[in-house]
Amino acid sequence: MTSSDRRLAAALSRRAVLKAGAAGAALVAAPTVLRAQAPAVKLGIIQPVTGALAEAGDLGRLGAELAIADINAAGGLKALGGAKIEMVFADNRSNPEAAAQEVERLQGEKVAAIVGGFGSGLCMTATQAAARYDLPYLVDVGVADAITKRGLKNTFRMAPSFSMATEVALKNLVTLNDAAGKPVKTVVIVHEDGLFGSGLAKLLGSELPKLGFEVLETISHPTPARDMSNIALRIRSLKPDLVIPSNYYGEFVLLARTMQQQRIRPKAIYAIFGGGASSLRFVKEFPQAADGVIDCNHWHDPKNPKSADIRARTEAAGKSYVYNVPLNYSAVMLMAEAIEVAGGVASDKLIAALSSRDFGSGVMPYGRSKFVEGQNVSALPLNTQIQDNDVKVIYPDAFAQVKPVFPLKA
């Protein structure tokens, strides 16, 4: 063999080795390349994005979308091999019957669980429908006590009920009033006539007299309501020191604006679950009517840096920030953690995990969320007041941003 032949043979041999090495590497890499991604976990999100409660529902949906985006961007559900969460959205159309129908559809879509619902009446029918399939359901708002008092093992509520919130609200009202020299003695309650407002008004009517307040009148109204003139005139004639509204956004804002236009200025407006009292849209559009309004409601932890991020992303989407966004963000985060703890989406295991473990509360001021008979017993409403064209926390002290202004100037 000539020297030229030997060089050619050596070159061919090297190429053969390189080819063999590349093939081996490809075989080693093949399982990584070909490994199937874990199937997505379908999560039902139900909100009213049409009908009387559409604005609140749209913001609830946004909160859920932000949470799902963050979970998926962080690698998905680790216990399920990095499975991504896929939203299956349902519009309950602000209608209890439609809420039940949409749950049936979500069940047909094979969702692992449902989050949301918003209104108490909507959550009542939706959770009942979900219970037929043992489908885990985490209520975001739905404050009526009855939602978690029916023995439904599938039903959990993230936020405080109206009895929990009323206890906190009345305690803080007494603290405010005592510190100011007890200027408030008489009260008028204005409430929506559904499950949420009527139940809350009944409880207030029972508890306020025990604390030394005289309830002059309890006034109900429908949702939606188009005119608050007669209610405002009645408030004017009664001259209460304090007005307590409990209603949804449209009716709350309409009442506050009507009172302002008619120059009705009680010593305080102290809302409990006031639909507009903690809304930055209300603050922006009607600053004079909004100024000084106090609320005891769902609200994020203002000292959690993630809260500012969620608010910024909400405003970047062209929407006004309100509690529906952080509450639904946190509820989806909690449900994702429950799926991780359960190690899958089997309903029985997921319900068992929710019933027995505690969980992170996202950006809500709850510490570790713990469910007892379906209710998150760690849930805590915050007292806010509209000051300097913003919603600021005034109670409890651990979360307070500003000192309360009470009573308001005449």
| CA–CA dist 160, 163 (Å, integer) | 8
pLDDT above 70 for 30: no
pLDDT above 90 for 17: no
Contacts 24+ apart (CB under 8 A), 206-212: 207/166, 207/170, 208/170, 211/170, 211/173, 211/174, 212/182, 212/185
The residue ranges of every structural domain in the chain are 41-160+303-379, 163-297+383-399
Give the pair of three-digit tokens for residue 201.
């008004």
Supply the pLDDT for residue 18: 44
**Residue 375 bridge partners (DSSP):** 157, 372
Length in residues, the chain: 410
Classified as helix, coil or strand, 14 is: helix
Say if 41-160+303-379 and 163-297+383-399 have the same CATH topology.
Answer: yes
Q: In what order do the strands lie in the sheet with 85-91?
A: 85-91, 41-47, 113-116, 137-139, 155-157, 375-376, 369-372, 358-359
Supply the pLDDT for residue 35: 55
- Summarize pLDDT for 151-184 with one digit per residue, the tens: 999 999 999 999 999 999 999 999 999 999 999 9
CATH number of 163-297+383-399: 3.40.50.2300
pLDDT above 50 for 141: yes
> Do 239 and 256 meet the contact criterion of CB atoms below 8 Å apart?
no
> Do 221 and 231 meet the contact criterion of CB atoms below 8 Å apart?
yes
| CA–CA dist 107, 120 (Å, integer) | 21
Which residues touch 40 (CB under 8 Å, ≥6 apart)? Answer: 83, 84, 85, 86
Supply the pLDDT for residue 409: 85
- Residues 214-246 as b/e (b if ≥16 CB within 10 A, e otherwise) read ebbebbebebebeebeebbeebeeeebbbbbbb
The structure's pTM equals: 0.89
CATH code matching the domain that covers 41-160+303-379, chosen among 3.40.50.2300, 3.40.640.10, 3.30.70.870, 3.40.718.10: 3.40.50.2300
Mean pLDDT of the 213-218 span: 98
Confidence band, pLDDT 50/70/90 cuts, at residue 27: very low
3-state secondary structure string across 45-60: EEECCCCCCHHHHHHH
pLDDT above 60 for 19: no
- How many other C-beta atoms lie within 10 A of the C-beta of residue 375? 23
pLDDT above 60 for 73: yes
| CA–CA dist 99, 122 (Å, integer) | 6
